[in-house]
Amino acid sequence: MKSKSERRPPIKIKVQLKLWVHSGGRCAFSGCNKYLLRDSLTLTETNYADIAHIVAYKPGGARGDDPMPMAKRNEIGNLMLACKKHHSMIDKKELERKYPKEKLIAYKREHEARIFRLTAIKPANKTSVITFKCKIGADIASVELEDIFPAIVPRYPVDEKGTEVNLTAIPGIDEKNYWEIGRRVIEDRINELFRTGVNGESVKHLSVFPFGPIPFLIFLGSCIGSKVPADVYQKHRDTGNWTWKKSGKPARYKILPHSTGKNNEKVILILSLSGQIPSADLPQDALRKFPVYEITLAGQRPHPMFLKTKRDLENFRHTYLSALRMIKQKNNPKEILLFPAVPISAAVICGMERIKADPAFRIYDFHKKQQRFVEATTVRSKDDSPRVLAAGS
């Protein structure tokens, strides 16, 4: 049994409390940020935190040979809040060269400084989050809360659950009512959000994390419209997260008028951005009959990873609106036949940026089995509240 003099004195309660506040109840190990008062799987609330010493209290521990006076080793400057996994890791004597004192102090400072900045965010920065859950092949895709929080900073969600549009229970894409049922789920969910608000508060701002077939996302955008300010996010394939990049080669766009069909009742608008759309995949009779416009990338071939920054999405928004104005001025059609190969965020923008006087949109989707574009849905603006027409109407 250790003598009383050999035992490590307890960390003072006021020091523990101060450390918890500084760390925001989260693990300070770089890249972890795990919330330590709730199990992420079961959501059971209890204390899952450890208070780790940067310099071990005793000389035999990790970094314990540091000249730091013993009287300072239980003070807040030498302590960091950690999950059990990372506490165990940094406490291993054999790993002290990988995790020296200077590195752990840098982890602690960066984490606590970030918590301080985030907790200084004002109530006006609240946002209502919209996410999707849908089937991608045999798998179910959804957006994790851990990916949402860093993406929306300096905003923060009104609640942790957000508004989830769940399309996992609708029939398969080859079923007769697939598009109709999916539209109804989206419309009902968004209407409910605007009608009831979140936690008794009306919706003042939206953060949209879209997933799923492009026609559904265009329809989602039309349901949101311009009712409230909204930020739309894109999942990046290279990083796997939803945070807009701060820099990158800017995406530039161009509008190409391809033909001057004499029948202006309808106009074809092709969006060749995430991939090139061959004319062979389009309805040939419509190509011969109606004017054709295309929005594509300038200076690079269409590819799925071109959209990197928020400015890239804003530039697409401006180009898209310019194309709609051009079509309206030159042709003034009753309907636009839309053939999209676009990133998910751009699809939402296509639906949002519509006004009362715009023509109807008849949206097509590429059918993998048929290897061609088939009609999916039609959306018409009316006082910023879209009316959905049955496909083929």
Query: What is the band of 324 on the pLDDT scale with cuts at 50, 70, 90?
Result: very high
Query: What is the band of 390 on the pLDDT scale with cuts at 50, 70, 90?
Result: very low
Please give the pLDDT value at position 356: 62
What are phi and psi for residue 350, nearest 5 degrees? Answer: -55, -35
Q: What are the structure tokens assigned to 174, written together?
A: 């080859």
pLDDT in tens, 254-299: 999 998 788 999 999 999 999 999 988 899 999 999 999 999 999 9
Of the two residues 121 and 86, the one the predictor is more confident about is 86
Report the candidate in 289, 350, 280, 288 with the shortest Cα–Cα distance to residue 320. 350
Please report, as a single letter, which amino acid is at residue 66: D
pTM of the entire predicted model: 0.73
CA–CA distance, 388 with 353 (Å, rounded to integer): 16
Please give the pLDDT value at position 3: 46
Please give the pLDDT value at position 381: 54
Q: What are the structure tokens assigned to 233, written together?
A: 């996010």
The answer to whether the beta carbons of residues 306 and 273 sit under 8 Å apart is yes
The answer to whether the beta carbons of residues 336 and 380 sit under 8 Å apart is no
pLDDT in tens, 325-368: 999 999 999 999 999 999 999 999 999 997 666 789 999 998 88
Which are the contacts of 232, defined by CB distance < 8 A and separation ≥ 6?
Answer: 208, 210, 313, 345, 348, 349, 352
Please give the pLDDT value at position 383: 43
Which are the contacts of 27, defined by CB distance < 8 A and separation ≥ 6?
Answer: 33, 34, 36, 49, 81, 82, 83, 86
Query: What is the band of 77 on the pLDDT scale with cuts at 50, 70, 90?
Result: very high
CA–CA distance, 104 with 32 (Å, rounded to integer): 13
Residue 388 has pLDDT above 80, yes or no: no
> Domain limits of the chain?
13-119, 125-393
Residue 315 has pLDDT above 70, yes or no: yes
